[in-house]
Amino acid sequence: MKHTTSILPIAVGLLGLAAVGAGLVGCGPSGAASAPSGFTPRQMADALFTVMASDRAVYTKQVVNRLQNEEKVIKASEHWQDEKALPLPAQMFRMGAETVTEKNAGFSYALLSLWPINKQNAPKTDAEKAGLQFVNDSSGKTNYYAEEVLGGKKFFTAVYADVAVSKACVSCHNNHDDTPRDDFELDDVMGGVVIRIPID
């Protein structure tokens, strides 16, 4: 189990994406891309998280916060289908995670919290519990990495802080009927992204 700083060079992220694309998703040109030799599970997890966190922040700020809170064009709602609204950023993220799972892409990710609105998203495994506590205690400055065995398979598990990037995150969580915590503030760690990559 190792803990290291989270600031990841963009170059590593881009390299990670290329490796994921070629090695995992299998969409490299003509299948001739070189194997990602020497590319560690941790580098891959970091690269994946860079993309996830970036997309998530863009959706939260440029779509939900802008259209709902600033320009008041459309609301975002937990029941977005029924209410003809935008999916919440957390839902958008989970839908992506489920789609990845359906594609059997070779890795999985989840958005969990020590204060989950849906109790099924509370940490379950030892790594999840320790990881969420760790990223919260470090105020999101440090990631958590571990190896764990689940269902007889060994996984590299990385936990990254999920930080409140806009007022929409804070107000929605603080006011939700099912929230176990109602004092979140901007830039608080609200939960964590858990990425799992099978090893050996």
Partner 1 sequence: MRIRRSWLWIGFAGVNAAAAGYFVQRWQGPDRTVFLPGPTTHGHYQIELDCQACHTPWMGVQEAACYKCHEAELKLADDSHPKSKFTDPRNADRLQLIDAANCVTCHREHVPQRTGTMGVTMPSDYCFHCHQQTLKDRPSHRDLPFNSCATAGCHNYHDNTALYESFLLKHLDEPDVRPEPRVARRTVAAFTNAPLTATGQDAPATAASDPAILQEWVSTAHAVAGVNCTGCHAPAGKGGTPATWTDHPTHEACASCHKGESEGFLAGRHGMRLAQGLSPMQPALARLPMKADAAHRDLACTSCHGDHDFNTRRAAVEACMSCHNDPHTLAYTRSPHYTLWQEELSGSAPAGSGVSCATCHLPAETVTVDGSQRVVTQHNQNAHLRPNEKMVRTVCLDCHGLSFALDALADADLIQANFRGSPSRHVESLGMAAARRRMLETTKKTTSRNTP
Piece of 1-9, 16-24, 100-108, 133-141 that binds partner 1 (CB under 8 A)? 100-108
- CB of residue 191 to partner 1, shortest distance in Å: 14
> Applying CB under 8 A, does 173 fall inside the site for partner 1?
no
Residues 6+ apart with CB under 8 A from 145: 1, 2, 3, 4, 42, 45, 156, 157, 158, 159
Residues 39-68 that bind partner 1 (CB under 8 A): none
Q: Are 141 and 5 in contact (CB under 8 A)?
A: yes
For strands 153-163 and 144-150, give the pairing.
antiparallel
Piece of 10-18, 58-66, 74-82, 162-170 that binds partner 1 (CB under 8 A)? 74-82
C-alpha distances out from residue 187 to 46, 48, 123, 170, Å:
20, 21, 21, 9
- CB of residue 113 to partner 1, shortest distance in Å: 14
- CB of residue 172 to partner 1, shortest distance in Å: 14
CA distance 74 to 66: 9
Residues 109-148: x where in contact with partner 1 by CB under 8 A, - otherwise, as a string = -x--------xx---xx--x--------------------
**Backbone angle region of 8, left / alpha / beta, with phi > 0 → left and psi within -120 to 50 → alpha:** beta
Choose, by CB under 8 A, the member of 70, 71, 102, 185 that binds partner 1: 102
Nearer to partner 1, 30 or 120 (CB): 120
> Applying CB under 8 A, does 81 fall inside the site for partner 1?
yes
> Applying CB under 8 A, does 200 fall inside the site for partner 1?
no
**Backbone angle region of 38, left / alpha / beta, with phi > 0 → left and psi within -120 to 50 → alpha:** left
> Applying CB under 8 A, does 193 fall inside the site for partner 1?
no
Which residues are near partner 1 by CB under 8 A?
Answer: 78-79, 81-82, 97-99, 101-102, 104, 108, 110, 119-120, 124-125, 128, 150-153, 155, 177, 194, 196, 198
